[in-house]
Each structure stands twice: as C-alpha cells, then as structure tokens.
Amino acid sequence: MKLSTEEFRKALLKAAAELEQHKDELTDLDREIGDGDHGINMSRGFQAVQKELEAQEEYEDLGALSKQVGMTLIKTVGGASGPLYGTAFVKFAGAFKGKREVEGQELAAAFKEATDGIKMRGKSEFGQKTMVDIWTPFYEALEQESDLNATLDQALSDTKERVATKGRASYFGDATVGVQDPGALSSSLLLRSIVEVLS
C-alpha cells in the first residue's frame, strides 16, 4: 500500500465530507453514552481542515500536510477527542517528515506511531471501547497486508459490544454495551477515506 501527499490531501477532504454527513449520527451516539457533542466537535474541526486544504492545493510533503492538519484539529475540535486526533496527526507529521510518499511497512509504522500517540495522550489501551479499538486493528492490518475495509467493519462491530471503561462513556457502564462509541465511528470514517486513496 502506498500513500502520496496529493492522495492524503484528497482523503482528508473526503473525510471532512463523510464526517459532515454523519454529524447527527455521531452526536446522537454521543448523546446516548456521552455529552452529545462529538458530531459537532468533529464537524467544526474537519470543516476548518477542509477550508485550509481548499486554500492550499500543494503541500511540500506528507509531513507538512500532517502537521498543519494536526495543529488545526488541536485548535478546533475540542473535547477529549480534539487532542487525541491532533496527536495522531502530529505523530504522522514526525513519521512522514520530508517524504512525498510512503508505502508498505513504513506506512504501517506511521499508523502505529499515531495509535501509540492516541494511547499515550488518552492513557488508554485497546479494548476500552474508544477510538483506539479502531486504530489498533487498522495498523495491524497494514502490517499484515490484510483487508483494510473488512478489518474496519469487524473492529466496529467488536467495539460496539464492549463496555466502555475509559473517558466520559465509562460513566454509563453496562448501558454502553450495544451502543457504538462515537469516536470509534468517526475514526472508521476517517480511516475508510484514507483506504480509498491507497494504491
């Protein structure tokens, strides 16, 4: 699998459109097992990203693009998820520094670094019904060169049945079983948009 700077830019524009389309669904899920702001948070952040990407068509490399997106997300998303998504892109910026395209195990390693960044920032692990439950199997599938969309489908359905033990949703305890975690859904939308441009 290979990702170029132009493809990544395209994927992020697609992600912004997808998140906008799922804004109400994300907010409804967060109303059930959170405080009802996740769709609004993600929309605000990715609309800001979209505006910047539309204003600047050319980026020097994947690192410069990732850095700008990370900074924008940290500034605009808010909530718990803003710093987490922001950290993921700041980690991408480090892994992608000076590279116009990245492929294979190097690409997988960048997604692992982003996931480790989320886990460190959130003091969280796989299996707690958060976005980490999506990012973890995703980078593993990149490492193993297995089907990425099938992995995302499976990860979403697995995390839906878990009890939330991290973040605001953990206050809802057993009532979280059978409800999709909003951050898991937004992460799957973002990662699916990236899968679409991988070649």
Ligand X SMILES: Nc1ncnc2c1ncn2[C@@H]1O[C@H](COP(=O)(O)OP(=O)(O)OP(=O)(O)O)[C@@H](O)[C@H]1O
The answer to whether the CB of 92 falls within 8 A of the CB of 115 is: no
- Name the region of 56 (left: φ>0; alpha: ψ -120 to 50; beta: rest): beta
Q: Which of ligand X, Mg ion, none does residue 166 bind (CB under 5 to 8 Å by kind)?
A: ligand X
DSSP annotation of 59? -
Q: Does 35 bind Mg ion (CB under 5 A)?
A: yes
Q: Does 30 bind Mg ion (CB under 5 A)?
A: yes
Q: Which of ligand X, Mg ion, none does residue 124 bind (CB under 5 to 8 Å by kind)?
A: ligand X
Least distance in angstroms from the C-beta of 38 to Mg ion:
5
Q: What's the CA gap between 154 and 144, in Å, rounded?
A: 16
Secondary structure in 3-state letters for 119-172: HHHHCCCCCCCCCHHHHHHHHHHHHHCCCHHHHHHHHHHHHHCCCCCCCHHHHH
Apex 81 CA angle, 79 and 83, nearest 5: 90
Q: Does 167 bind Mg ion (CB under 5 A)?
A: no
Q: Which of ligand X, Mg ion, none does residue 73 bind (CB under 5 to 8 Å by kind)?
A: none
Backbone angles phi, psi at 101, to 5 degrees: -150, 155
Which residues contact ligand X (rule: CB under 6 A)? Answer: 30, 34-35, 37-38, 41, 79-81, 84, 118, 122-124, 130-132, 166-169, 181-184
How many contiguous H segments (helices) and E segments (strands) does the chain have? 9, 2
Least distance in angstroms from the C-beta of 31 to ligand X:
10
Q: HSE-up of 12 (CA within 13 Å, CB side)?
A: 28
Q: Which stretch binds Mg ion (CB under 5 A): 31-39, 52-60, 103-111, 137-145?
A: 31-39
Least distance in angstroms from the C-beta of 115 to ligand X:
10
Least distance in angstroms from the C-beta of 88 to ligand X:
10
In the complex with Mg ion, the residue whose CB is nearer, 34 or 70, is 34
Return the residue nearest Mg ion (CB atom).
34
Residues of this chain that bind Mg ion (CB under 5 A): 30, 34-35, 37-38
